[in-house]
Chains A and B, each alone.
Chain A
Amino acid sequence: MDNYAVEMTGITKIFGEGFKANDNVNLRVKRGDIHALVGENGAGKSTLMNILYGMYRPDSGYIKINSAEKTFHSPSEAISGGIGMVHQHFMLVETLSVLENIILGDEPAGFAGIIDYNTCRKRIKELAFVFRIDIDLDAKVGSLPVGIQQKIEILKILYRNAEILILDEPTAVLTPRETEGLFKTLKELRSEGKTIILISHKMSEVLSISDRITVLRRGKVTGDLHTADTGKSELGRLIVGEEIADLSVKVKTPFEDTILEVKNVSIKNDRKFLAIEDISFLVQSGEILGIAGVEGNGQTELIEALSGIREIDSGTVLLNGKRLQQNDVIAHIPADRHKHGIVKEYPLYMNILLGRESESGFSTPYHLKQKELINYTDNLIKEFDIRPADHGQLMGGLSGGNQQKAVAARELTKDTDLIIASHPTRGLDIKAAKFVHEALLSERRKGKAVVLVSTDLSELLMLSDRIAVMYNGTITGMFKAVQTDENEIGMYMTGMMAKDSKK
């Protein structure tokens, strides 16, 4: 009867004046299970896990760990209670090495506090071996791809002997391959008797890996299911409270002007090596060009160059037949919204203004038109269903998904012919993701040109007219979306195949 690793009972958490992020939530997780926690953006998943991890204090309710009542006042108490968490946004110190990041806060030290690197290196190597995680312990964390950074986070937890692992949207930033690797690790952990709580928006993942599922909606539990007894449609209904309609049908658009022309472009990365070598492609009005590829094959540099953040080394980029200028207006949904998309300390309506401050609707040469801006924001909040519906809310207080919606709202309503979207649905719930998909399709219908970078192949196949596959800084294949499939693209992504794509 008492084989529960975690029992959270009657948890309520109130933010600000009476906003209940968690409302009388009950969560019970069996020992040795992979337990999925799902729900819309802003449903309160991260909040609930932060409470379990001792970051937040609940306003009411109690927590039992292995049947004993526990109150964690801080993460360090939770850690010593056997709980570890991988946050939605990684908690890594980029300038430190992998090894240093793992031992930080729990360093074996000898005389005068000098760290015994040999001991911990051995220990971590053992852990890595048992759980089949393979990393170079001396690399600087900042230089590693996200998939590896995630493994570091997991090792960090295992190093602290955690029995209960919380993973907040671990797959949002991973490629399909990396996700596979992560799931292998998670299964390995489960077979060693660890308990795992996994937050994810991807239904297929949740259904394939979890044992049980708890669904949250607007702070309340709306479902508690055996994975084996449920399916996509029931789950979708519990999450959003309604049936999700299929994506609207993509018909051929009548436009044929070329909007974006990239000719023999080469681009250097931060370390001054060529990240992109001599690539050429066109994007037409009313067309979505998907760009597929494992992260780190030049997509980032290409997108940065197209959106004007990075200089091109040689070649030309033409927008509507004219050389692309720094001050050309382009809609850009960046991959890393925290670095490039938002200012967390500004309220929502100021974030809507970012990059658009000289539009005549928002400002005169002398001052900002606050009232117009706020009205405009209120409309976007309605149109894009941003929650909470408050233009004065600080951006940092919005849930990850709602931050992304706000960025999409700002960019897609810009007056421009070119939209560059980089992982636009990363971290979005199914409803919000569908919303962004519809928005992109509707811009396409209006005759805009869209460049869509994503590691989610099903998303690319669904939305794109053509798909360019990037490998090692070049385009190795260009396909009509209707004439290809995930397998073929996957082969080109890993460099196993390439065909001449010039012209």
Chain B
Amino acid sequence: MQELPMDEILDIAFLLQTLRITIPYLLPSVGAVFSEKGGVINIALEGILLAGAFCTAVGTFYTGNVLLGIVCGVSAGVLIAYIHSIITITFKANQIVSGIALNIFALGITKFFCKILFNSSSNSARIEGLETLNLPFNPFLLLCIIILAISYITIYRTKFGLRLRAAGENPEAADSLGINVNRIRYAGVLISGALAGLGGAWLAFEQHSFTDGMSAGRGYIALAAMIIGKWNPLGAAAACLLFGFAESFTLQFQNSGIPTQFIQMLPYVLTIIVLAGFIGKANPPAADGIPFEKKD
């Protein structure tokens, strides 16, 4: 076995790579915190990432404007989240089933329109993207950090955040104080959609195109990160960073003589160790996943 080149781990390119990988985990993961703090499990985040990437690609391609592309991606996320809300909050259907259905739907519909718009069911035309993504302080990265800070403040310091937490923890109590539980829950889910949509935009920009199924399970990993982070946006972000680091590490040392299977295994081993060993018992919001029925 070769010596690990430690200086390579710490160099700036590696760091940037880690951040680049982390962002599309981090945004949906923080989004998931909003959704679940309010009491709604949103596994549709996987599909939202995908649809967000697709709509960003389409928007950017047709307008030639990166910002408008982002607007398209985020809108797509909000739209799917809205559907999830109607199904699970208004109609009180099972949240997991709705999420799975929306994921499958997103997979199909992106493929379908990709074929129509770009005449290929596997990838879109090349889009502009953000060249600045390779800079340490690119605007998108900055935006993510700001979003993280705002999310934390929103959840723990604002009126909305307090009500959101109450709605996910004891909706009857919130209701008895005149809080509209379902409306708060809608807001939580819509925010998760917007953030995951933004995560999708990042994916599209980074690859300069949309490719079929490009979310590749990131939405699920984001949910795992949220759980590891104990339903706290900062905790979730730290967990995402850990995943990003592990994955970046994998890429870095793929050709270093260490068996690649072993390296590829690392992120997952890391997850298991972290979950089993270091993180104490995490308590989800008490009413997470349970639709709220108002008394007559």
Contacts and interface: CB of A to CB of B under 8 A. Distances in A.
A104 B163 contact: yes
B165 A109 contact: no
Contacts of A109: 158-159
Interface in A75-118: 75-77, 79, 85, 87, 91-96, 100, 103-107, 109, 112-115
Contact of A79 (B158, B159, B178, B295): B178
A169 B250 CA distance: 62
Contact of A106 (B160, B170, B177): B177
B170 A93 contact: yes
B176 A91 contact: yes
B158 to A, nearest CB: 4
A59 to B, nearest CB: 11
A96 B177 CA distance: 15
A74 interface: yes
B172 A91 contact: yes
Contacts of A103: 162
A104 B170 CA distance: 12
The residue in B157, B166, B173 that gathers the most chain A C-beta atoms within 10 A of its C-beta is B173
Contact of A93 (B153, B174, B296): B174
The residue in A74, A96, A105 that gathers the most chain B C-beta atoms within 10 A of its C-beta is A105
Nearest to B150: A112
Nearest to A89: B172
Contacts of A112: 158
A75 B174 CA distance: 11
A115 B157 contact: yes
A115 B158 CA distance: 5
Contacts of A87: 176
A92 B170 contact: yes
A115 B155 CA distance: 11
B83 interface: no
Question: What is the interface of chain B mostly: helix, strand, loop, or mixed?
Answer: helix
Contacts of B177: 75-76, 79, 91, 104-106, 156
A338 to B, nearest CB: 12
B162 A75 contact: no
Contacts of B163: 104-105
Given A56-B296, A105-B178, A94 B159 contact: no
Given A87-B176, A91-B172, A93-B173, A113 B165 contact: no
Nearest to B153: A114
Interface string A22-65: 00000000000000000000000000000000011100000000
A91 B169 contact: no
A79 B177 CA distance: 8
Given A94-B170, A96-B166, A104-B166, A115 B159 contact: yes
Given A95-B165, A114-B153, A104 B158 contact: no
Contacts of B162: 96, 100, 103-104, 107, 115
A357 to B, nearest CB: 25
Contacts of B283: 95
A17 B118 CA distance: 61
Contacts of A115: 157-159, 162
The 8 closest A-B pairs by CB, nearest first: A76-B178, A105-B177, A91-B173, A113-B158, A107-B159, A109-B159, A91-B176, A113-B159
19 contacts: A56-B296, A74-B178, A75-B175, A75-B177, A79-B178, A85-B176, A91-B172, A91-B177, A92-B173, A93-B174, A94-B169, A94-B170, A96-B162, A104-B162, A105-B178, A109-B159, A112-B158, A114-B157, A115-B157
Interface of A: 55-57, 74-77, 79, 85, 87, 91-96, 100, 103-107, 109, 112-115, 156
Given A75-B177, A75-B178, 18 more contacts: A55-B176, A57-B296, A74-B178, A77-B178, A91-B170, A91-B177, A94-B286, A95-B165, A95-B285, A96-B162, A96-B169, A104-B173, A107-B162, A109-B158, A112-B158, A113-B158, A114-B158, A115-B158
